[in-house]
Amino acid sequence: MAVSVPRRAHCVSDEDPSRAWPEQVTLSYHEAGRLLDAQERVDNLPLPAEVAAWLQTFVDLHYRPEPKKRRRPASFVDPDKR
**Residue 44, CA atoms < 13 Å, CB-side half-sphere:** 10
Domain range summary for the chain, segments of one domain joined by +: 11-55
**pTM greater than the 0.95 cutoff:** no
| 41 within 8 A of 22, measured Cβ to Cβ | no
| CB 60 within 8 Å of CB 23 | no
Distance CA 44, CA 38 (A): 16
Stated length of the chain: 82
| pLDDT, tens digit, 9 for 90 and up, residues 38-77 | 888 888 888 889 988 998 999 999 999 888 888 777 777 7
